[in-house]
Amino acid sequence: MNQLDESLLSAIPPFRRLDRAQIREILDLATPARFDERQAIFEEGAEASRFYLLLDGVIRVIRTTPGGDQIIVLHIAAGQLFGIAPALGHDTYPATATAAGECLVLGWPVRLWPTFVEKYQGFATETYKVVGERIDEMNNRIVELATQAVEQRVACALLRMLNQTGKKVDNGIEITFPITRANISEMTGTTLHTVSRLLSAWEKQGILESARRHIVVTDPHRLVQLSTSAA
Amino acid sequence: MNQLDESLLSAIPPFRRLDRAQIREILDLATPARFDERQAIFEEGAEASRFYLLLDGVIRVIRTTPGGDQIIVLHIAAGQLFGIAPALGHDTYPATATAAGECLVLGWPVRLWPTFVEKYQGFATETYKVVGERIDEMNNRIVELATQAVEQRVACALLRMLNQTGKKVDNGIEITFPITRANISEMTGTTLHTVSRLLSAWEKQGILESARRHIVVTDPHRLVQLSTSAA
DNA sequence: CGCCGTCTTGACTCGCCTCAACCTCGGTGG
DNA sequence: CCACCGAGGTTGAGGCGAGTCAAGACGGCG
């Protein structure tokens, strides 16, 4: 087993209040793993055997309807815990987690969860703060889906990704992981055709630039306008 | 202060594992309150000063968009904790809670939250289980809003209310609190006109009976069919 | 009795989905 | 090196679901 460096965890909220020795303990219990794009970390409905920390990359959380269409529930950015079903009294995963791009994760067996909560100061509190943020995000999406038109929803989806994983580049802000029109349609409850039309239009207006599976937003401010006003 | 009976709490999950003396302690710290229909228990954005247990009635959780339209995030049935912002690292309430019908609640100051979690065996675990269930429900609604047509969404909304607070009556299952067409439209992201048309049609087909602000579903099975299939 | 909140119903409109055809890129194998 | 192929993307035409506009009925409450 290759030795993991303590600095990996020391800046991450759930572990921030821990000392070096504690972090060492935790790291020694972890199993690191690499996942390629599109690889699943765990599947919806499977027994929740491990919980994870995303060290690098982006995780795409997906649910599949009985009817067969997929929808993207949320994206998870580096530094966040995921697959924390045990924290919420679940014994199976409620959704599928796949690597949106190449990912580096640490995993622990669920049986360690109670120990972590009990033993490590602030772990529970910080974790539930993250849960709270996810709930907020879900709430916002519900409101969005219920009240806004497709154009605004797509704008919101882009902005959300920019905020969570956007990286500044010379001509704007870039979405750091591969993303297709179809993906965006699965996030917004629309079709890839409509998304394609919208992005084409926005590209003509100079709001963004896109190559295949790759988007750079050059005028985020404009996108914010689009996301809020119906005009 | 009128003395509250211990049996109020002994059957409710977060308190189930506690003994009589502990429940007594908790009750003595609680402030009981009654709310009339449409009265707000707390408002979105307000400082989260208390958390609550719903003893009787139904709570309607509402969010208001910048654009001014309201959407109903979820309903809370008797026996559930709500306003548990502190558990999720919030210091303001993320939504408004109003009484869907007459309600009886117990309230505690948030500063007691950490004490409850620490002192009472199983309180935290059971509470987070409830949080997990709410997350599931929200997830389902997201999928629903993103993939299903209006008719199916309305059917789902009705079924959800039946499951949570439905009461058997001689000719079917009744929704136990006052509910308008407009309310249903706020739950499903549609208009009261469309809801009205759907309910009229269903009433003609013998699936339900409705008076003003009052619905009895006479053929739940049929409603399940409608909620799943596009036909 | 008159008002207001609730509900109904019709007619029209339009946003977005569906259907369909085609293009472009990037990888793979002969 | 090129031919092929599949995934990803674009764009047009047409239709329908559901929103909007409009008018009114019903019932309860002050």
Three-class SS state of B208: strand
Higher pLDDT, A231 or A181: A181
User: Average pLDDT for residues A45-54, to the nearest whole number?
Assistant: 97
Q: Is residue B100 part of a domain?
A: yes
Q: Over the stretch A92-139, which tens digit does the pLDDT of each residue have? A: 999 999 999 999 999 999 999 999 999 998 899 999 999 999 999 999
Which of the 8 DSSP states describes residue A89? Answer: T
Domain end call among A101, A116, A144: A144
Distance CA B191, CA B206 (A): 23
Q: B230 pLDDT band (50/70/90 cuts)?
A: low
- The verdict on A136 touching B (C-beta cutoff 8 Å) is yes
Residues A134 and A177 in one domain: no
Q: Is residue A42 part of a domain?
A: yes
Q: Is the CB of A192 under 7 A from strand D?
A: yes
Taking residue B215's Cβ as centre, other Cβ atoms within 10 Å add up to 23
CB environment B103-134: b (16+ within 10 A), e (fewer) = bbbbbbebebbeebbeebeebbbbbbbbbbeb
Residues B30 and B76 in one domain: yes
Q: Is residue B202 part of a domain?
A: yes
B231 pLDDT more than 80: no
So what's the pLDDT on residue A230? 64
Residues B194 and B121 in one domain: no
| Protein-covered nucleotides on strand D (Cβ within 7 A) | 8-12, 17-22, 27-28
So what's the pLDDT on residue B2? 58
Give the angle subtended at the CA of B183 by the CAs of B178 and B187, to the nearest 5°. Answer: 125
Q: How many domains, in total, are found in chain A?
A: 2
Q: Is residue B1 part of a domain?
A: no
Distance CA B7, CA B4 (A): 9
Higher pLDDT, B156 or B5: B156
The CATH number assigned to the domain holding B201 equals 1.10.10.10
Q: How far is the CA of B54 from the C1' of C23 (A)?
A: 60
Q: Which residue is nearest to nucleotide C9 (CA to C1')?
A: B197
B154: which 2 tokens? Answer: 């309305």
Q: Over the stretch B28-81, which tens digit does the pLDDT of each residue have? A: 999 999 999 999 999 999 999 999 999 999 999 999 998 889 999 999 999 999
Residues B119 and B190 in one domain: no
CB environment A26-41: b (16+ within 10 A), e (fewer) = bbeebeeeebeeeeeb
Residues B165 and B67 in one domain: no
So what's the pLDDT on residue A231? 57
Name the phi and psi angles at A47, rounded to 5.
-60, 130
Distance CA A82, CA B129 (A): 17
A155: which 2 tokens? Answer: 């704008």
Residues B60 and B154 in one domain: no
Q: Is residue A13 part of a domain?
A: yes
So what's the pLDDT on residue A144? 97
Mean pLDDT over each residue of chain B, to the nearest integer:
95
Q: Considering only CA atoms, which of B125, B104, B114, B100 is closest in space to residue B177?
A: B100
Q: Is the CB of B98 under 7 A from strand D?
A: no
Q: How far B198 CA lies from chain A's nearest CA (Å)?
A: 18
Which of the 8 DSSP states describes residue A92? Answer: B
Q: Is residue A1 part of a domain?
A: no
Residues A200 and A97 in one domain: no
Note the pTM of the prediction, 2 decimals: 0.94
Residues A113 and A208 in one domain: no
Domain that holds residue A219: 149-228
A2 pLDDT more than 80: no
CA closest to A84 among chain B residues: B132
Q: Is residue A119 part of a domain?
A: yes
Domain end call among B144, B164, B192: B144
Residues B88 and B102 in one domain: yes
Residues A159 and A79 in one domain: no
Residues B35 and B140 in one domain: yes
The CATH number assigned to the domain holding B21 equals 2.60.120.10
CA closest to A61 among chain B residues: B139
So what's the pLDDT on residue A99? 97
* A65 HSE (CA, 13 A, CB side): 22
Q: In what order do the strands lie in the sheet with A40-42?
A: A40-42, A96-99, A59-64, A70-76
Q: Is residue B45 part of a domain?
A: yes
Residues A140 and A31 in one domain: yes
So what's the pLDDT on residue B227? 96
Name the phi and psi angles at A90, rounded to 5.
-95, 150
Domain end call among B144, B165, B193: B144
Which A positions 169-198 lie with beta carbon below 8 A of chain B?
188-189
